[in-house]
């Protein structure tokens, strides 16, 4: 049979991953710990290693497919498997009856190795309903678990006897929603299926997102079951309903035509569509959550960093090439930590469940980094305890691994304050979105030369060309008042205008 390998939990709390690419092919020999596939989760791109030495017998998932954690993705042939399988088969071979038939009753067939036979959609449904698939398998009489089995087992009204007696009913392979839609289509009616148009529908956030993407009203989708008068709709119900509506629209037309989208969109206006998922979707959901939760206020200012530019140039001449480049980011990080120590409310978070303000007395700074997959925020821990060169090397390493998608998901979590550098691409001011659960984020613009009035030791004013850094601080107005936000920026300004002060920090 071979050694089946299930998609492991490749990240904390990850429920599924997109199989981006196979690094092996059927028939290839592999070593234990050799990478066999690249899987993208909502946090990072990770390599999945082989658990054994052997040969790839079968690839069970296609590239681009979203696979739930726990589903078999590959089967290996391991030395000794064939012999063990033959010996096992011999041990299981039943003695025939006198008429030559198998003496074992059909319902006595056992599932090999205790494995539950259930397709991915059924396993996904079990997770949505909070049901243990093993418990369902133990309750059914057939060897394969179906959606009907899962829903009956999960029903609050179902008795133990009813759950134990569950078998496939209706058309094989169809869910209840599919059967209702099929019945509606067979009658030639394009009316909404029964139970549609509910005032209240129970559905998970993921199911509602699928409905919105498909342009489907969640209240119109036939529910798989009812609880206290409210329909419970699953992701599969939404997809089947959306498919049925497309089928109905096509059959109603005498001459079906290709869906070219809005009026005026044709061959001269091509479009490309790609799935909205993985890291890109996680970023989007985090941004929406932040804007919907925290009342954002952005304070803009300019900092004369002429002395900082000169100081960095002097220090860079003494930096060993092996230490990497000394950028401005370590200076800004140290200045921010000094300001956070002075204004601890900016290094806090709001625990809404307990109604408590949580002030952090450690300084883990997130550095927003642009990647091909979207914005990631690697975290540099203990910035207050590290020197400029150490910070420069760590920021460079984290940013590089974030762009290559090899960074550990744990290194993208736990920051207390975030810095975003929009100046790297020529930006000046921004209104950055807070990286929750933090309460503030500082955006850096491009350092440029601007004319400034400078007062000399004699009190005489003169116009000079100075290096100026634009900054933008977005903060959560629930915790930080405008005055405190401005004072925080003033504190950062003091350290960046006089960088020698950082030497005593």
126 and 120 Cβ atoms separated by less than 8 Å: no
Instruction: Say how many C-beta atoms besides its own lie within 10 A of residue 339's C-beta.
Output: 22
How far apart CA 490 and CA 118 sit, in angstroms, is 61
Element (H, E) at 39: strand 35-40
Which residue shows structure tokens 């984020």?
A: 441
How far apart CA 56 and CA 71 sit, in angstroms, is 17
Q: Of 296, 300, 467, 477, which one is the catalytic site residue?
A: 477
- Looking only at the bridges linking them, the beta strands covering 3-6 and 72-77 are antiparallel
How far apart CA 438 and CA 363 sit, in angstroms, is 12
Joined tokens for residue 422: 């929009």
378 and 412 Cβ atoms separated by less than 8 Å: yes
Beta bridge partners of residue 40, listed in sequence order: 18, 45
Joined tokens for residue 394: 């760590």
Q: Angle between the 120-128 and 147-154 helix axes, to the nearest 10 degrees?
A: 10
492 and 308 Cβ atoms separated by less than 8 Å: no
Q: What is the DSSP letter of 116?
A: -
Quick check: is 477 catalytic?
yes
- Looking only at the bridges linking them, the beta strands covering 201-202 and 230-232 are parallel
How far apart CA 39 and CA 401 sit, in angstroms, is 16
Selection from 22, 112, 94 nearest residue 58 by Cα? 22
Joined tokens for residue 31: 């070593």
| Alpha-carbon distance values, 483 to 86, 113, 176, 299 (Å) | 78, 66, 60, 10
Beta strand segments in 220-355, E: 225-227, 230-232, 296-304, 348-351
How far apart CA 19 and CA 186 sit, in angstroms, is 38
| Alpha-carbon distance values, 385 to 244, 364, 505 (Å) | 61, 10, 10
Q: What is the DSSP string of 53-74?
A: SEEEEEE-S-TT-EEETTSEEE
End-to-end CA distance of the chain: 64
Q: What is the DSSP string of 322-374?
A: GG----SHHHHHHHHHHHHHH-GGGGEEEETTTTEEEE-SS--EEEEEEETTE
Among all residues, which ones are annotated catalytic? 477
């Amino acid at each position: 049979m071979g050694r089946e390998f299930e998609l492991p939990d490749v990240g904390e709390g990850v429920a599924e991953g997109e199989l981006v690419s196979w690094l092996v092919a059927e028939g290839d020999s592999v070593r234990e710990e050799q990478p066999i596939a690249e899987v993208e989760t909502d946090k990072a791109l990770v390599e999945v290693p082989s658990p054994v030495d052997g040969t790839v017998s079968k690839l069970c998932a296609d590239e681009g497919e979203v696979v739930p954690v726990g589903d078999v993705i590959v089967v290996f042939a391991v030395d000794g498997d064939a012999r063990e399988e033959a010996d096992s088969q011999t041990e299981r071979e039943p003695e025939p009856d006198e008429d030559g038939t198998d003496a074992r009753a059909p319902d006595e067939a056992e599932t090999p190795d205790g494995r539950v036979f259930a397709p991915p959609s059924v396993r996904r449904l079990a997770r949505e309903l909070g049901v243990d698939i093993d418990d369902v398998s133990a309750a059914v009489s057939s060897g394969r678990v179906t959606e009907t089995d899962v829903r009956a087992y999960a029903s609050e009204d179902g008795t133990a006897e009813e759950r134990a007696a569950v078998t496939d009913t209706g058309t094989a392979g169809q869910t209840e929603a599919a059967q209702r839609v099929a019945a509606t289509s067979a009658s030639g009616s394009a009316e909404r299926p029964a139970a549609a148009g509910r005032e209240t529908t129970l559905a998970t956030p993921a199911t509602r997102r699928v409905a919105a993407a498909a342009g489907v009203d969640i209240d119109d989708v036939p529910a798989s079951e009812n609880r206290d008068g409210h329909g419970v709709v699953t992701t599969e119900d939404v997809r089947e309903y959306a498919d049925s509506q497309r089928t109905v629209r096509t059959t109603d037309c005498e001459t079906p035509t290709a869906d070219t989208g809005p009026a005026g969109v044709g061959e001269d206006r091509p479009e490309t569509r790609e799935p909205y998922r993985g890291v890109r979707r996680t970023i989007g959901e985090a941004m929406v959550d932040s804007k919907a939760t925290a009342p954002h206020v952005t304070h803009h200012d300019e900092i004369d960093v002429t002395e900082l530019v000169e100081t960095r140039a002097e220090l860079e001449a003494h930096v060993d090439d092996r230490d990497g480049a000394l950028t401005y980011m370590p200076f800004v990080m140290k200045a921010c930590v000094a300001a956070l120590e002075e204004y601890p409310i900016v290094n806090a978070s709001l625990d809404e469940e307990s109604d408590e303000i949580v002030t952090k007395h450690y300084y883990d700074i997130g550095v927003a980094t642009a990647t091909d997959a979207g914005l990631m925020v690697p975290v540099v821990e203990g910035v207050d305890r590290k020197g400029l060169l150490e910070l420069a090397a760590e920021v460079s390493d984290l940013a590089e691994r974030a762009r290559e998608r090899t960074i550990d998901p744990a290194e993208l979590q736990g920051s207390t304050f975030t810095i975003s550098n929009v100046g790297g691409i020529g930006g000046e001011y921004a209104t950055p979105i807070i990286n929750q659960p933090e309460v503030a984020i500082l955006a850096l613009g491009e350092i440029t030369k601007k004319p400034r009035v400078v007062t000399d030791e004699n009190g005489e004013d003169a116009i000079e060309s100075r290096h100026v850094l634009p900054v933008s601080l977005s903060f959560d107005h629930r915790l930080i008042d405008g005055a405190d936000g401005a004072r925080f920026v003033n504190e950062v300004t003091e350290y960046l205008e006089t960088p020698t002060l950082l030497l005593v920090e």
